[in-house]
Every structure is written in C-alpha cells, then in structure tokens.
Amino acid sequence: MSWETVIGLETHVQLSTKTKLFSRASTTFGASPNTNVNLVDCGLPGVLPSVNKEAFYKAIRFGMAINAQINQTSIFDRKNYFYADLPKGYQITQMDLPIVLGGSIEIVSEELVKTINITRAHLEEDAGKSIHDEYDGFSAIDLNRAGTPLLEIVSEPEISSAKEAVAYMKAMHQLVTYLDVSDGNMAQGSLRCDANVSIRKKGYKELGTRTEIKNINSFKFIEKAINFEIKRQIKILEKGEKVVQETRLYDSSKDETRPMRSKEFANDYRYFPEPDLLPVVISDEEIQKIKDEFPELPNEKEIRFQKQFELSAYDAQIIASSKSMADFFEKTAKQTKNYPLLSNWLIGEVSAYLNKELIEINESKLSVENVATLINRIDDQTISGKIAKTIFEEMCINGASPDDIIESQGLKQISDDGAIEEIIDTVIKDNAAQVEAYLQGKDKLFGFFVGQVMKLTQGKANPKAVNTILKEKLKK
Amino acid sequence: MTIQFKSIAELRGMLDEKLISVSELTKETFLLAKKYQELNCFVTMNEEFATKKASTIASGDQTSSLLKGIPLAQKDLFCTEGLRTTCSSKILSDFIPPYTATAVKKLEDAGSITIGKTNMDEFAMGSSNETSFFGNVHNPWKKGYVPGGSSGGSAAAVAAGIVPGATGTDTGGSIRQPAAHCGITGLKPTYGRVSRWGMIAFASSLDQAGPLARTAEDCAILLNLMSGHDEKDTTSLNSEVPNFLTNINQSIDGLKIGIIKEFNLGDLDSEVQAQFEESKKTYEKLGAQFLEVSLPNISASVPTYYSIAPAECSSNLSRFDGVRFGHRAENTDDLNDLYIKSRSEGFGDEVKRRILIGTYALSAGYYDAYYKKAQQVRRLIKNDFDHVFKTVDVLMTPTSPNTAFEFGSKGTQNPVELYLEDLFTISSNLAGLPAISIPHGQVHSLPVGLQLIGNFLKEDRLLNIAHVFQKNTDFHLAQPNLEDFS
C-alpha cells in the first residue's frame, strides 16, 4: 500500500513589540519571573484590556508580504478555558474575523519550489508559563509572557512531508525576521508551531483522521516529530486500525509523540465576541504608512548587494537569505573595502561556525568591528589567510579583537623582504640535496621550500613575498 | 447641627459658610453610620483614612470643586486602593485592591471623602440585595423589607441620610430599582459615559456606573465628575461631557414624553398605577405632552437580558479561580480540584446559577440559539428606541412594577419571579441608553419610583426633566422614620 502524508501547520509568531497586546507591560525576554506584569496581565478584578496598535501594524505587514487580504476592522473574541497560567480564564483572540485572510508563501524543499497557501493569520495574546519541577510540591506561575502578542498563522493542508514542513518554517522564519515583525528566536519560543498530520491512501481525496502535535520549537524537532507521527499513523493504518483524533506532544528526549488529550475530552471554548474591546479600525492612512515603510525583502536585497557591493549572484543570495547575516554584512562593509573577501569569509568560515553552533550571527560573539578588522588585516597583509583562521577561532570563543590577538601572540606577518631573504637563505643552505634535485627539474619540491620557510616563521611569512623571493633565489 | 438627610448642595453651603468643618462633617457621618449599623448598608468602613483626609481639608476655603470635603459611599464593586473590595462575595472577602477605579478616583480627586464600601447583591447579581455574603440590607422605610438591588447598600445609605450621595452600578436596573425602592434619585448614564476601569465586571456590555443621591441636582454634580473618556477603558465614550448643571433649570414646556404601549400598565398594582397617572398630570401642568409609542420588541427584553448577561458573567467570573487572589480552598488534590472547591465555596447560589446559565448559553450547539439570537434581538430593541426617539424626547415608565417587598418573599422558589422585577429597567441597558429614577410618592407607606429613559448621551435632558419635577413636588424630601434601626 502506498501512503500520502498531509500536513497543515499552525505557526505562532511572537510579535516583537515593546509592550504587550492589551497592556503596557514590557515584553522583554528573560526578566525575573512576574516582573513584566501589570494589573491587566494578572487579570485582577476590574481591569480592562486596551490595544497596542504596533502589533496590528506588524500583523498587517506580514499580511501584505504574503499578498493576503487585510481586514482593517479587527474584532476580538474570548476563548474560555481554565488553566493556572491563563489569568483571566479566557484568552483574547480572533475567531470570526482574522486580521489577515488568505495569501501564500513560497518554500524550497529538495530544490523544488512549492507554494503553500495560507488560510488565515490572527492576533491573540499568549498565556503565562507554568513551572512544575522547580519547587517541591508546588507549581509556579510566571506571567511575564502572559499577554505577549502572537500572530497565529494557519496554513492550508498542503505540506506533504516533514522536510517540506521544515522548509515552510524556514521560509516563515526568514519572512518574519526580514519584516521585523518577530525576532524569530525559536529557542525562546518566538517562533513555534503545531503540526496537524494525517495519512491517506495515495490518490485519495478525502483526508485521513489527523492528530495535532503541539508546540514544536526547533527545525530539527519539527522534522523528527512529524516523521515519527507519519510512521506511527501508517503502522496503525496498515494494521487496519483507525487513527484517533487527538492532541499529541513531542518528547525530544525519547524522540516520540504521545497523547495529550483526545477529542472526547476536548474543551468547549465557548467563543464569543470580547465585550471589553470595541472593534479596532486601521485607517487607510495607517495602511499607506505601513506600505511606505515596507522593509526590503530577501530578493530585493540580493539584487542590491550585487549592484552595490559587486557580489556574485551566488554570494549575494546566500548572504541575503538570512536577515541577521545580511545586516551584519552591510554594517561590516562600511568598515572594509574588500567586499569579495568579506563575503567569502561570511559564507565560508563564519557560516560554518554558526551552523555548527546552531546560532544566528547576532547571537554569536562576533562583532562587526572585529570581523571588519580581521578582513582589513588580511587585506593589508598584516596576517595571512591561514593565521586569520586561527585568530577567527579565538574571536568566536572570547570575542577578542583581532589586533589584540595579533599583538599578544606575535602573529604579525613577516613582509619585510630582507628578513624573508635571510630565512630563505638558511633554508637553501640547510637543504642542499633538495635544492640540487629542484635544479635538476624536480619542480614539485618548490612547495617543500615554502613549507620550510613557513615552519621557521611559524606561518607568519607573507606567502606572496616568500614565493617571489624563493623563485628568484632558486634560479641561481 | 444635624447633617442627616442633607443634600450635597446643602452640605456644600454649610461647609462654605463654615457652619461645620470637613472633619466634623466626616465625624458626624461615621456617627450616623454607626447609629444605623443595623441597616447593614456598609461592608467595610474607611474611618481611619477618611478622618485623615478630612483633617487635610480646611473648611471654607474657596474651592472650585463642589465635592471638596463631601462624604460619599462607594458600592463595594469599585476597586479602592488599600481598602477591601468584596463585591459582597465570600470569594473576595479578603481582597484588597492595589488600585482605584477611575470613577471613584475622579470623585476622590475632587476632594470627596470615601466613608466606606456599601453592601450589594453578590457580584451585582440580584434585585433585592439578598444574595450578599454579608447579609441583607434593610430598607430604611421598613425593617425586614428589601432595599432593592443590586446597589442596595448605596441606596439605603443615601435614603437613611447617612451620606448625601453614593456610587452604584447598573447592569439591568441596579441603580434605578433600589433608588425607587428607597425613595431617592438614581441615574444610569449612557453606556460608555463613565469608565468601567476598576469596576468589577458582571456583564461588560451592560454594566454602567452612576450616582445615587437625594436629588437630581446632586446626581448632576456627581455625574459631572464621574464622566469622561478613559484610555484604560476602550469602551468609554470619547465624546464631550457637558456640564450637567448648566441646563438643569431649563423649562420643559413642549416636552414630548412617550408612554410605551407594550408595557401594559393596567396589570400593575392599582396604586402604583394611580401614582403614575398623578405624575403624568404633574408633567402636563409643567407643559409636557404625552404620546403613546410602540417598541414592538421590548417585551423580549427580559429573556434577551438573561441570555446575554449570564453569558458575559460566566466568562468574567472565570478569573476568580483561587490562583492569584481571593478565596482559595484548602486541601485540594490538583488544579481542577482547586478550581472546583474554591469556586464552590466562594460563590453563592445566585452567582452559580448565572454562571451555569451563561456557560450553557455559550456552549457549542447552543450559542446560535441563545447568545447569538439574544444579540440579534438586542439590536432590534435598540432600533425600536432609535425609532421612537424621532418622535419623543423621553420615555416614561414606573421604575419597578412593585414597591419593596419582605425579605425572602420573592424568588426563593422561582428565581424568574425576581428577574421580572427588572421588566422596566432592563431595556435601557440593552440599548445602552441613559435612564433616571426619581421618587414620586408612596404606596403602602413605601416609596415608588418614576423612570425616565433618554436618548443616547442625553443625561443633561433627563436631569433637567427630573430636576424640574423635584422643584415642583416634594416626594424627594420625604424622610423615613429610622427609629427601628437605632
């Protein structure tokens, strides 16, 4: 039997506003528990929500970027359920009239471009956090996150593999960071998704029973969780049994999904229009302002980088693919002239390091100043490319300035012809046999002599100068 | 010199003429409150803070604020910083808010002195003040009789002459009905006229704060300060607030008053009916003319209200879960058990009943039939009002179908019996319109109230029409005999 996977994703994007969706408390991540909390956030009796328009602007910017319909009048609804970290006993969200309707997003998976349609995207407030394992016998509640604005983006069930799901989330990450609607930080929960997974016989139209995997917050886990779920469901279907519609959790430590609650115990959320908020209307002027201030998107940046910095199409594409990398490049380019060298380094050494650490450049210890200095020192021949790699390793670890590393470790390149000549003379003297062989026509030995020079100078000799002088000397 | 039964305007005069100091006035007020403790008007007194505030206000200083030094009582549903706020519920019986409601803050900032927090139906759910966790409030006119509700404590405190004015809230008649039963004046403003920030919500789309006082003029003084847009309440109206005293003496010659055909007044107690006819004559003498008007959907008001209000209440009261504030049950097994026990112990029967009704009305499969349908009918009722206000200036009805009744005599077997108390008052909440109740006589030695419903934002007209009535009658001057309570 041949099976087909159908996946729809609900992505929660935390909007990068300074204050919360319905209160003026700060949204800064990592504050001490219950410090970014005001009267509204803890749902005290008598408090009322008031809207933060910044969140609407960001949601609209997202909608425009995916060519969606924008609803300029926003109505909010209450989703009622009890949980200890949900202060009011209901979440304010949008049910009937989402701010963003329709649109689509392009993904690239295994070198194929595919368009995934978006059903809707709506604004809602986040809940707080329950902490169950830090206090013996108690659960603790941290309401810092309560009321943080989220944009929930619902895709059509048009994703057909775990790899495509990852590609979708990567495209989403690129888009929301480029649009500056979110910091996209998955580890901090700024971007997370619920995956609705179902299986059907290949060629069938009717959808199979789906399960929903909740709250997945890394590209790696998305792939693993969905693949586990696909296998699990196929196994059930092949036994002739039925998949139970339920909510499941992905446990990364065991690499499995397990049931959270089944549909029979599903909450009746008793949605109804939020009577504490009047409809929020975004004016045509505000829409125009959002259009006027629309940020540059990846493909636009790519073209500009090719023109402005004379980067190759390939380099420009790679650098522009990540907002943080593109920003870093542009800032660094202000402090160095050698753009090709800079882009080579960013695509090569720097990207390799970031990929290994699974971080973005703005989360690393690398600063614009230090990377610019490194490039400039290679460019002005203070150091060789090889030494630069050693320095770079140290910069990654402690964020030290290249000049300090060069100074303290004496890594400055020897470019003085006299000094190099002296060393070459020593090498020629000490390796008479090899010199003889070289002069007899064993050209390959040239590399050996270069190696000897580098050994004696601990790699600090300017390779260009070494080549020139060595060639000169060996002629004689 | 006695201060009992004095209006705000009268007390202002006494303070300005230095016949009494603010401290003396405050002290006298607390003496009265203690003397009539048996009325059970107050849940919490604010003596220490009030006395201290009074001592900082010099009497006779030329002030622009009419309220400087005037004692007021606040319904115990307004959050007051540092002063216990219970909503007359066990679940909030030890709740001390860290902030003050906008309406109260505005009154306090104008120099008024909060004497205490008044008893009420639990979470404002009731029409007799009998659902309070802190016990029944007596009607100052007759011991053992209800003062009406839910703002029963506020109405009784004003009627007993302890304070000249008090705040109330009105979701379906909770200012007007107790004002009527206690023989005082009470105004429910246009929805959104007064900020709801700090008012513990019962039904958000219907709740509205307003004043209770001895006269329409005093209500105007209080409303002048309570009104206005508040950025903390996005449903508060961003429209200009007129000075409600400016046109209060305007002639009502030519005023067109509508009588609602669908309220079959022939079914009422004959004496209540007779009183109503009497007041019509008074207004006619003052130059008003009466027109019968039809509001075809108004008879659906009570069921509409009892679908919407409990639905909103069921959601609004979810926050009382024992987690962050309020009563928390002991010895609970898990989170669910904590919710069930805390809420079962903390809420009274009427509150539970309304949470259940509301939860049902919002449930999947019932939402369309109840909540949504009710909202549609609400729209129709509002349209009816819009329509009649093209031909009349105000509508006139009795405030309540009956006078105050004996404790426990209504609604104990069938709660709907008590829900019908709100027959005349509910529709203005559904339509968001202002309405006032003024005393217009007595039936069986108990006060009866006359209700005037105005068009959107026309409180100034209502106060004018009520004030002119009070200048030409003396029903509002009647004082209960309080011998039974001292």
B416: in domain: no
pLDDT at position A294 is 95
State the pLDDT at residue A467.
84
Who contacts B198 (Cβ-Cβ below 8 Å, separation ≥6)? A46, A47, B78, B79, B97, B99, B100, B101, B102, B103, B104, B105
Q: Do A84 and B335 touch (CB under 8 A)?
A: yes
Interface mutation target, options A270, A271, A277, A281, chain B, most CBs of B under 10 Å: A270
**Between β-strands A112-125 and A100-101, what pairing exists: parallel, antiparallel or unpaired?**
antiparallel
Kindly report whether the peptide bond that precedes residue A161 is cis, defined as omega within 30 degrees of 0.
Answer: no
Whether A48 and B197 lie within 8 Å, measured CB to CB: yes
Closest Cα of chain A to B201: distance in Å?
6
Task: Inspect the interface and report whether the beta carbons of A276 and B201 lie closer than 8 Å.
Answer: yes
Nearest CA in chain A to B123: A45
pLDDT value at position B60? 55
| A295-316: average pLDDT | 92
Chain A's closest residue to B325, CA to CA, is A44
Question: Is A89–B319 a contact, with Cβ atoms under 8 angstroms apart?
Answer: yes
Any B CB within 8 A of A84 CB: yes
Q: What is the pLDDT of residue A362?
A: 87
| B239 is known as an active-site residue | no
| Residue B197 at interface with chain A, using a CB cutoff of 8 Å | yes
The Cα B244–Cα B107 span in angstroms is: 15
CA B109 to chain centre: 21
Residues of A with Cβ-Cβ distance to B363 under 8 angstroms: 268, 270
- Long-range Cβ pairs for the range A449-452 (8 Å, 24+): A449/A424, A449/A474, A452/A427
Residues in chain A: 476
* A50 CB within 8 Å of a chain B CB: yes
CB contacts, 8 Å: A275 with chain B: 203-205, 235, 312
* ipTM of this predicted structure: 0.95
- Determine whether the interchain pair B319/A88 forms a contact, defined as Cβ–Cβ distance below 8 Å: yes
Confidence band of A403 (pLDDT split at 50, 70, 90)? confident
**Residue B250 lies inside a defined structural domain of this protein:** yes
Contacts with A278 from chain B: Cβ below 8 Å: 234-235
Q: At what angle do helices A432-439 and A445-456 cross, to 10 degrees?
A: 150
For residue B416, give how far its alpha carbon lies from the nearest alpha carbon of chain A (Å): 25
B203 part of a folded domain: yes
Q: Are B143 and B464 within 8 A, CB to CB?
A: no
Given B6, B27, B68, B75, which residue is catalytic? Answer: B75
Choice between A263 and A437, residue whose per-residue pLDDT is larger: A437
Query: Which residues constitute the domain of residue B210?
Result: 8-255+435-485
Judge contact between B141 and B447, C-beta under 8 A: yes
Yes or no, beta carbons of A87 and B311 under 8 Å apart:
no
* CB-based contact A270 B367, cutoff 8 Å: yes
| A262 pLDDT more than 70 | no
- For A219, residues 6+ apart whose C-beta sits below 8 A from its C-beta are A166, A169, A170, A186
Is B324 touching A (CB cutoff 8 A)?
yes
Query: Which residues have CB under 8 Å from A465's CB, separation 6+?
Result: A414, A415, A417, A420
Q: Tell me whether residues B325 and A278 touch, CB distance under 8 A.
A: no
Residue A138's closest chain B neighbor by CA? B334
Share of chain A above pLDDT 70, in %: 98
What spatial distance separates the first Cα and last Cα of chain B, rounded to whole Å? 19
CB pairs under 8 A between A and B: 103
Which CATH number covers residue B228?
3.90.1300.10
A179-183, A332-336, A447-451: segment of lowest average pLDDT: A447-451
Residue B394 maps to a domain = no
Contact A87 B324 (CB under 8 A): yes
pLDDT in tens, A122-156: 999 999 999 988 898 888 999 999 999 999 999 99
- Closest residue by Cα to residue B364 from A147, A173, A269: A269
Q: Which domains does chain A have, with CATH numbers?
A: 3-286 (no CATH), 298-409 (no CATH), 417-475 (1.10.10.410)
DSSP A50-89: ---HHHHHHHHHHHHHTTPEE-SEE--EEEE---TT-TTS
* Catalytic-residue membership of B128: no
**Binned average pLDDT, 10 residues per bin, chain B of 486 residues:** 93 93 96 97 98 85 81 98 98 98 97 98 96 98 97 98 98 98 98 98 98 98 98 95 97 97 86 94 98 96 95 98 95 93 97 97 93 97 98 97 93 78 94 98 95 98 98 97 92
* Position B428 in a domain: no
Domain membership of residue B152 (yes or no) is: yes
List pLDDT tens digits, range A80-122: 999 999 999 999 999 999 999 999 999 998 889 999 999 999 9
Chain A's closest residue to B80, CA to CA, is A46
- Contact of B325 with chain A, judged by CB distance below 8 Å, is answered with yes
Number of domains in chain B: 1
Q: Is B361 inside any structural domain?
A: no
Q: Quick one: pLDDT band at residue A203, thresholds 50, 70, 90?
A: confident
B290 touches chain A (CB under 8 A): no
B349 within a domain of the structure (yes/no): no
